Structure 1
């Protein structure tokens, strides 16, 4: 792991004055100064903004009808339901796509629709409504009258033209970026908050949220029970976390409502997931680190995500239990494959030596895992990474990038070396001739070296606030918890524990690679996997560390543990 620079937000007179004003505000006196500093760092710089942040009134979400073509799409689907036309939802093979498909199926079935679903196989069809996928859909549902896309379709020009040529009507719901030219596909209605000129005020919603909004508008139009739609918000919350959407605006409301419902056990599928995974704490990390990887596992390994969709559609408890068991099994297999292939990748990097961008090709890599491996490389070495495998005679893979290097722009600059590509600043997918892998490596490294400075290649942790052991009380942790959910655009606070004086040191675990340092009060410091780093520092008596506090309950005794982030501990300065 590269050395990480500990930094603080840039100080200025304006920042100091604004922060002091907030910390002294009568309306915010129930907050500690460090929590107010966290909120300020997240862009909440007035009393009004902070008060609004904590207002989780569900009625404050935006009207679905602000989206272009929403009413048109509702009219088309309502007419199709009333005429008993055959509808097919065309979904996508990730958590958001599976969630959106489940929401569409559940909502439309309750509305009386004759509806089925189809999702591409990741390995056979590739992404989005396309010709091959359409041919297979027609084989499965030859009587289809109308396709409703979820989480895809905004750039599916060829696939939608092909569907129309076969006499199938298409309505698109999506949340991905349209083509830069603004070109729209040949669909009867296109619902996407990112359409040019669209009036929907918050663009950061996922595909599941778009179809959820559509269901709200459809049920209102058809004078159906709106509670049936509201019950779907738990799936929306999981998809929001799974698709790494910004936890701002109405997304915060959806995720909070979702977690509340999962805790209540209102949906049998989530209740079974909680039971089978032995989850004890249900929060946004339950979605992000437990359920979402399980939902994604069948697609990553088999190419087909129908197992996950069916989990949310079935009402048969035995089938539900079997589906959860299979998702758990596949996710465990996915973890094992990832670990083995990560070892292969690390061995390749060791032979390559340090580079500005790591481009790895190995036909042994699993096509559904390459993005995960690229992410691990990026995290470990703080370098952009592209990981490629062989697919039908060509190199195909995924990339992940660091701040300051827009990886999709870099691919645009080297497009003539590629067969196809797509993505955004932080992640991309691509295909190319295997013979051109070395050329791509050389060219993408040259592109990076023309853009990235040594400072850009230095990983940094920006510390939100400084705390002492005396600050870390149960009440303080409860206060921090009011800021949840944490995630994209609203990350977990990064706290620096200052001058922590240790009394006892305990090395834990079979390999003794975990560390617990007990202090002189009810606060201890815990670090997983990096105990050796502490030993190399000479086991200092007084340390400073970066992390986040948590409660530990043992035999009825409640204490506070400061959980060190990775290996970020050092002698106090």
Structure 2
């Protein structure tokens, strides 16, 4: 196992911690964590712990929102045909389900289109434009894609088709010639929050349309169950407006989710608490499986389902596809890791770039993430699609893989994405040159620290502090996700108090005790089985962990989820 780097966050000013602890009646470790997250007074804590819907921004603050609303109003008055176009991942399919449900509730001259991952690739496609032209659509509203589709939007214009683009990816040097481009990452957009996923941009457009036309739809908040699924699945920061949308979206998902999402919750076996993690590991893979294994239209049909029976029918189809996806994922990951292990140069590189023409395109992003779990470095996994090399890139915390790819753009046909995830396409004969250049670019800019797995620790703590009341306050810091992660604590002088066992030969479970503390706590360490002997022998250790609720047969208890162990 690669040794992890532990970094204990800087302690905030003691006066701020003491004042906050007293003002909102929380323990110093909790006040420390809040201060580290920029919450330093009563009002900040109130907004954090008790978000309200009036914290959402006015949608008309977004550049071009007025133009988008005006063009859609004109289309409806003139009975023009409108095509809702979205990508094949969770963000794209939830975006399409959201906007199509809204539009179709009062306007029948509309349809939706999802590109085929294998025949068309990511985003706006030639085939999509041709479909719109052949079927006499006058307006395309693209969601979660389109920001770099300059040529294809020009082509649509030549057919007399207008575009409204709702995207959240980084724009290129030139914006497409659309009627409106809604993207907070535009340099000229003054919208106060920049990190909305594509589905949330669609939600803001619905909000704006309903503000102007209240007779069209009763309540845009109906769509927050879809919005929170996209926020969780697209791994965007759970801060600012995203946190408000996620907070209320989780409530809607728990209490009044649409039939398709209820079916997914049941199939994923989510029984107790609705969390961002539950969406990421339970619901998102099933939605994604549609576009990974065949066509994402099945996922949209699930999300559009109006009855439990229809939803469960589509949900079971996705479950079967997800099982296939798991098989592909496991076998390709095994191949990829064997390629690295068998090549001395690849083993010692600062990047992983692998190509094999028969790998399944639908799982290469997952395989890239699996490789990072073993070799902590920027990774691109490529396969052949439409006689081109197509790849998915993933990064390590703190390193901008999009910028690194952009520095190799002379070898690429197209690319797009975020700091931590991107997609790219190139001619197959350029793969070797790309591997070499990407390694050079990354090697010249990445630090050794970023190449070592990191455990960020919020605060030191003693076991006596970990009480039901303490855990209740931690719980209220949810929803957890990027930039509002579940707090990680450090405790020293730990030993086993009993019940030490290995689960599936790789996971540790035991009762932990701390010297000087009377509190004994259940602890689980996933993939930490190699420490069993030393713990069994009575060696004392330090432990980095988060605190969670363990539900077993309806019985709830506090459990420590161990992130890493270091022996004294």
- Distance change in 2, residues 1:168/1:269 (3 Å): same
What is aligned with 2:103? Answer: 108
TM-score, structure 2 normalization: 0.92
- Asked if 2 retains the 8 angstrom alpha-carbon contact of 1:242 and 1:287, the reply is yes
- Asked if 2 retains the 8 angstrom alpha-carbon contact of 1:154 and 1:174, the reply is yes
Q: Distance in 2 between the 1:444 and 1:515 partners?
A: 41
Aligned-pair CA distance for 1:530: 2.1
- Asked if 1 retains the 8 angstrom alpha-carbon contact of 2:412 and 2:425, the reply is yes
- Asked if 2 retains the 8 angstrom alpha-carbon contact of 1:89 and 1:101, the reply is yes
- Asked if 2 retains the 8 angstrom alpha-carbon contact of 1:294 and 1:327, the reply is yes
In structure 1, the gaps of 5 or more residues are: none
- Distance change in 2, residues 1:529/1:454 (3 Å): closer
What is aligned with 1:447? Answer: 441
What is aligned with 1:171? Answer: 164
- Distance change in 2, residues 1:360/1:114 (3 Å): same
Aligned-pair CA distance for 1:99: 0.8
Whether 2:538 is the aligned partner of 1:540: answer yes
- Distance change in 2, residues 1:526/1:48 (3 Å): same
Q: Distance in 2 between the 1:429 and 1:190 partners?
A: 21
Aligned-pair CA distance for 1:457: 2.2
- Asked if 2 retains the 8 angstrom alpha-carbon contact of 1:130 and 1:158, the reply is no
In structure 2, the gaps of 5 or more residues are: none
Whether 2:314 is the aligned partner of 1:323: answer yes
- Distance change in 2, residues 1:29/1:347 (3 Å): same
What is aligned with 2:278? Answer: 286
Aligned-pair CA distance for 1:225: 6.5
Whether 2:360 is the aligned partner of 1:375: answer no
- Asked if 1 retains the 8 angstrom alpha-carbon contact of 2:381 and 2:393, the reply is yes
Q: Distance in 1 between the 2:177 and 2:159 partners?
A: 13
Aligned-pair CA distance for 1:158: 1.3
Whether 2:394 is the aligned partner of 1:394: answer no
Whether 2:83 is the aligned partner of 1:88: answer yes
Stretch moving more, 73-82 or 399-408: 399-408
Aligned-pair CA distance for 1:307: 1.0
Whether 2:10 is the aligned partner of 1:3: answer no
Whether 2:488 is the aligned partner of 1:494: answer yes
Q: For 1:162, which of 155, 168, 175 is the aligned residue?
A: 155
Q: Deviations over 1:70-121 (max 9, x none)?
A: 1222122122223322111111111111111111111112233421101111
- Distance change in 2, residues 1:449/1:154 (3 Å): closer
Stretch moving more, 116-125 or 270-279: 270-279
What is aligned with 1:296? Answer: 288
How many residues are matched? 560
Q: Distance in 1 between the 2:530 and 2:61 partners?
A: 56
What is aligned with 1:250? Answer: 241
- Asked if 2 retains the 8 angstrom alpha-carbon contact of 1:499 and 1:544, the reply is yes
Alignment of 1:154-303 (within 5 A): 154-179=147-172, 181=173, 183-224=174-215, 227-280=218-271, 281-302=273-294
Q: Distance in 1 between the 2:412 and 2:63 partners?
A: 35
CA RMSD of aligned residues (A): 2.3
3-state SS of 2:538 partner: coil
- Distance change in 2, residues 1:509/1:55 (3 Å): closer
Alignment of 1:401-420 (within 5 A): 401-420=395-414
- Distance change in 2, residues 1:529/1:196 (3 Å): closer
Whether 2:323 is the aligned partner of 1:332: answer yes
Q: Distance in 1 between the 2:341 and 2:4 partners?
A: 20
Q: Deviations over 1:337-365 (max 9, x none)?
A: 11111111111111123221111112232
Aligned-pair CA distance for 1:325: 0.5
What is aligned with 1:564? Answer: 562
Q: Deviations over 1:274-320 (max 9, x none)?
A: 22322112111121111111111111122x21111111212243221
Q: Distance in 1 between the 2:352 and 2:375 partners?
A: 9
Aligned-pair CA distance for 1:513: 4.3
Q: For 2:355, which of 356, 361, 375 is the aligned residue?
A: 361
Q: For 1:504, which of 485, 498, 508 is the aligned residue?
A: 498
Q: Distance in 2 between the 1:26 and 1:456 partners?
A: 34
- Asked if 1 retains the 8 angstrom alpha-carbon contact of 2:119 and 2:386, the reply is no
- Distance change in 2, residues 1:46/1:206 (3 Å): same
Whether 2:127 is the aligned partner of 1:132: answer yes
